[in-house]
Amino acid sequence: MTLREGARKLLEEKSVQGVLGYKRGSLPFRTRPYLFRNPQEVEELVFTPFCGTNLARYLLRLPGDFGKVAVVAKGCDSRALTVLVREHQLKRENLYILGVHCPGMVDWRKLAQWKDLKESEVAFEEGTILIRGVPHPLSSFLEASCKRCRYRSPLEYDILLGAEASPFPFEDHLAALWRLPKEKRWEFFAQELSRCIRCYACRNACPMCYCKECFAESHKPLFIHPSPTLRDNFVFHLGRAMHLAGRCVECGACERACPLGIPIATLFLAVAEIVREHFAFEAGASVEAPAPFVTYREDDPNAFIL
Amino acid sequence: MSSPWEPKIVAFLCHWCSYAGADLAGVSRIQYPPNIRVIRVPCSGSVDPLYILKALREGADGVLVSGCHPGDCHYLSGNYFARRKFFVLYELLRFLGLEGRVHFSWVSASEGQRFAEVVTSVVAAVEKLGPSPLAGERKYHDLA
Amino acid sequence: MRLSYEGRLVSYEEFLRWLQASKAFATEIVLSRFNIALPSLPTPKSLLLPQREELYHFLWGKREWKVIPLPPASEKVLLLLAPCEAKAVVHVLDEVFLKNAPPDSSYVVRRENLTLLVVGCTFFEATCFCTRVGGHPLSWEGGNCFALPLPFGVYLEGEGPEGRALEPLEKEELEKLVERLAKEALKPLPEKTPEYLYSAFEREVWEEVAWGCLNCGACTFLCPTCFCFDLALEGKLRGAMVRTWDSCMFPKFTLHASSHNPRANPLQRVRQRVLHKFSYFPLRKGKFGCVGCGRCVLACPVNWDIREAVERVVSCAL
């Protein structure tokens, strides 16, 4: 069964009120989230390597009495759903998870160097991307967060559709950063954080940022000034990173959303890595384990304390 | 005309241990550098990492958070929870290359001498790093 | 002001020498089309209405507040910008900050120091829609000079270095370009668009139109015409009054002190952005508040497209 058939069946049977998926956008390669409400629309449902928006974000915006909804979920989307169910933001019985194997998400910005490239001129084969017939290694076009993805196929689903996607090499850009001397690292982050214009696209695209009032926009207490200076951007992004500790599902939606192309997910991925390494916890993957900040062990790391 | 740079350090001290430890250092007339600005908090577990970030944003060159020794928390486990949060923040700051500005310590109410030693070592560490790259941005008019 | 064919042709080297003689910047749109080594600016707005501007410093001393006004920091700048962006400066920013009384004192200084070198476009990109909102890829209305990069040199009008007249063949080439652009150009929006949209305020179609929007400020911050700003104090006893960009997409944009928020839900904010550009502004000023540069379409994380939104609502209102 293909994704479209699955979605159409659900809508025809009226077992769900809608199918949350992707459809083609107005620009080549871009896709946009869409809530399919009737079976005729399903022809427009697509799943391509350009469907990076984390759909869990959109579930939070549905009215409370919406009823059951089906959602197309890659590995990271399914992790996000698990966390949101655990945090009582969604009800599992109101979800029908249409699991899909993720081929790895391609950064459409990296295709910009080919002028007037059409969607029909790009094809994907085993680990390569064919652009106007010329093969290129797929991994150099993938998003940084996808290259270090551990769960490309969903962990939680009601039905798993499509074939398993071809593997690509695991590449951890965080390790490369850790190897730099600390002055270089700060130079890098200070430059990137200074570029931020605080449009909050990263936060709004994040499936885990559902606070009614964000600390960044809070007036009382006032944490940061609305103007984007390095020190205010620093508090915004690090504050968000701390809020996401043990919650970030490493989908990279924040980085994809950034209109300036700041590699902002690096911070959140680093936090997820710290939590994984030292507290043996992965958000949305470990279903039983308690969230890292609501528990403790007496032998937690202590060497950093004076 | 301007005086030589002195590190400004914000210290979040837990009411039950470290604050009392600081008090003991004071009444025992133990000398330590006057660079810290103390903020008393009910428990190290109540210190949101945002407070630490906010202190850096407001121009602190360094931050010290101090609570009761593990097992001694007045609220039984506040400092254990705190330790997890602080560890993640500590590692994250290390990742950003801002190592050495944010410090954590356990100081009990009877450790006046130890409190003075902790402050001395934190001030020395921050002094070595120089002014915070986040504090340096601020250029308002001073009283002429 | 359209291309007159009466301009002059200079070589690329000479053009570059002229640019190097002055402090020149280019916008990202220009740099993406014209391979030239110049410092880049996101939009002309970042120069005319910086995202962070300290208006005055204040401090408490000797039992009274002291306010230290800050003269706007500005220097003479030559800005290379696309025709749509020039229109954004002349039709929208000038309209708001110069022609409203009293004019904005720091904007006046920065605007006076700015020379607009409009760089014409020789093709449309997938995001372009200037011709739909009354613009043209070769218009240089309000600019000080006009440059058009051509295969045989840079065609110039207005201020700038001397050059030679066009050869008949070159003129023909230029005419061909104009013809091609005219063929590729999108049709202008219906003349009554502002009225149609105004009348469609209550339509249900907005639910459908606003659905995908994440309500971030990427579109408004990268828009060359969005001019909304916020004044926010920094510091308590010593600090600054800072002017910074604000966005109608943010929930606190319209929050009243009484805690009432007239645009509390995302739909209302999306509608505000569309209507301000395509209805309220044109009804008051007689020109669209959108110049069709397409930056918002490109910047949007979820490909929410203002072109489709306007068309959808207009088609419902007809």
Mutate to test the interface with C, among A23, A24, A26 (most CBs of C within 10 A): A26
Q: Shortest Cα distance from B34 to chain A (angstroms)?
A: 19
Amino acid B75 reads Y
DSSP string of A96-137? Answer: EEEEE-----B-GGGGTTSTT--GGGEEEETTEEEETTEEEE
Give residue-wise pLDDT tens across range C259-311. 999 999 999 999 999 999 999 999 999 999 999 999 999 999 999 999 999 99
Joined tokens for residue B49: 């990492």
Note whether residue C303 is domain-resident.
yes
Joined tokens for residue C305: 């497209």
Domain end position, chosen among C184, C215, C235:
C184
Residues from chain C that touch A200, judged by Cβ atoms under 8 A, are 216-217, 250
Helical ranges in chain C per DSSP H? 12-21, 28-33, 45-48, 83-87, 94-97, 105-112, 168-184, 193-199, 205-210, 218-222, 266-275, 281-285, 295-299, 306-317
Distances (CA, A) of C63 to B141, C60, C68: 17, 7, 16
Contact B105, B80 (CB under 8 A): no
Neighbours, chain C (3 or more CB pairs < 8 A): A, B
Shortest CB distance from A245 goes to which of B88, B103, B135? B88
Looking at the DSSP bridge assignments, the partners of residue A159 are A98
Domain end position, chosen among C134, C155, C184:
C184
Domain ranges of chain A: 3-294
**Dihedral over alpha carbons A89, A90, A92, A97 (to 10 degrees):** -130
User: How does DSSP classify residue B54?
Assistant: H
Q: Which residues contact C271 (CB under 8 A, 6 or more apart)?
A: C201, C206, C210
Give residue-wise pLDDT tens across range A279-300. 999 999 877 788 999 999 999 9
Q: Shortest Cα distance from C172 to chain B (angstroms)?
A: 56
Mutate to test the interface with A, among C247, C253, C302 (most CBs of A within 10 A): C302
pLDDT at residue B48, as a whole number? 95
Q: Shortest Cα distance from A278 to chain C (angstroms)?
A: 33
Residues from chain B that touch C240, judged by Cβ atoms under 8 A, are 140
H-run or E-run covering C27: strand C24-27
Note whether residue C2 is domain-resident.
no
Q: Which residues contact A305 (CB under 8 A, 6 or more apart)?
A: B83, B86, B104, B105, B106
Contact B28, B55 (CB under 8 A): no
At residue C1 the predicted structure's pLDDT band, cuts being 50, 70 and 90, is: low
- The mean pLDDT value of chain A amounts to 92
Describe the crossing of helices B78-96 and A182-195 by its angle, rounded to 10 degrees. Answer: 90
Give residue-wise pLDDT tens across range C14-72. 999 999 888 899 999 999 888 888 999 999 999 999 999 999 999 988 889 999 988 88
pLDDT, average across residues C220-224: 95
pLDDT at residue B142, as a whole number? 60
Is the per-residue pLDDT at A268 higher than 90?
A: yes
Helical ranges in A248-292 per DSSP H? 253-257, 265-279
pLDDT at residue C225, as a whole number? 96
Note whether residue C243 is domain-resident.
yes
Shortest CB distance from A257 goes to which of C247, C266, C301? C301
Same domain, C174 and C302: no
d(CA A97, CA A160): 8
Amino acid C34 reads F
pLDDT at residue A94, as a whole number? 94
Contact A22, A45 (CB under 8 A): yes
Q: Domains for chain B: give ranges and CATH numbers.
A: 9-135 (3.40.50)
Domain end position, chosen among C138, C164, C184:
C184
CB contact (8 A) between residue C250 and residue A257 = no
Q: Which residue of C has its CA nearest to B143?
A: C61
d(CA B138, CA B134): 8
Is the per-residue pLDDT at B58 higher than 80?
A: yes
d(CA A296, CA A70): 36
Same domain, C76 and C170: yes
Same domain, C102 and C215: no
**Distance from chain centroid for Cα B106:** 11
Nearest Cα residue to A52 out of A108, A11, A93, A90: A108
Structural domain of C158:
8-184
Is the per-residue pLDDT at B125 higher than 60?
A: yes
Residues from chain C that touch B143, judged by Cβ atoms under 8 A, are 59, 61
Residues from chain B that touch A184, judged by Cβ atoms under 8 A, are 97
When divided into structural domains, chain C yields a total of 2
pLDDT, average across residues A252-272: 95
Is the per-residue pLDDT at A154 higher than 70?
A: yes
Mutate to test the interface with C, among B54, B139, B140 (most CBs of C within 10 A): B140
Q: Does A37 contact B at CB distance below 8 Å? A: no
Same domain, C173 and C273: no
Contact C242, C52 (CB under 8 A): yes
pLDDT, average across residues C135-162: 91
pLDDT at residue B53, as a whole number? 95
**Distance from chain centroid for Cα C31:** 16
Neighbours, chain B (3 or more CB pairs < 8 A): A, C
Looking at the DSSP bridge assignments, the partners of residue A123 are A130
Cα angle A265, A266, A268; round to 5: 65
3-state secondary structure of C54: strand
Give residue-wise pLDDT tens across range C125-145. 999 999 999 999 999 988 999
pLDDT, average across residues A213-231: 91
Contact A142, A256 (CB under 8 A): no
- The mean pLDDT value of chain C amounts to 92
Give the percent of chain B with pLDDT over 70. Answer: 92
Residues from chain A that touch C218, judged by Cβ atoms under 8 A, are 199, 201, 257, 259
Is the per-residue pLDDT at B144 higher than 60?
A: no
Rg (CA), chain A: 20
Contact A63, A36 (CB under 8 A): no
User: How does DSSP classify residue C164?
Assistant: B
Is the per-residue pLDDT at B1 higher than 60?
A: no
pLDDT, average across residues C161-186: 91
Joined tokens for residue C119: 């760089």
Distances (CA, A) of C243 to A27, A127, C53, C56, C222: 35, 50, 5, 10, 17
Residues from chain A that touch B92, judged by Cβ atoms under 8 A, are 238, 241-242, 267, 270-271, 274
d(CA B84, CA A198): 29
d(CA A235, CA B144): 31
pLDDT, average across residues A152-180: 90
Note whether residue C1 is domain-resident.
no
Judged by phi (left if over 0) then psi (alpha if -120 to 50, else beta), residue C153 lies in left
CB contact (8 A) between residue A227 and residue C218 = no
Residues from chain B that touch C59, judged by Cβ atoms under 8 A, are 140-143
pLDDT, average across residues A197-212: 95
Q: Does C52 contact A at CB distance below 8 Å? A: yes
At residue B138 the predicted structure's pLDDT band, cuts being 50, 70 and 90, is: low
Residues from chain C that touch B140, judged by Cβ atoms under 8 A, are 57, 59, 235, 238-240
Q: Shortest Cα distance from B144 to chain C (angstroms)?
A: 10
Note whether residue C247 is domain-resident.
yes
ipTM of the complex: 0.92
At residue C249 the predicted structure's pLDDT band, cuts being 50, 70 and 90, is: very high
Neighbours, chain A (3 or more CB pairs < 8 A): B, C
- B121, HSE (Cβ side, Cα atoms, 13 Å): 12
pLDDT, average across residues C197-204: 92
Same domain, C180 and C211: no
Same domain, C60 and C171: yes
pLDDT at residue C121, as a whole number? 93
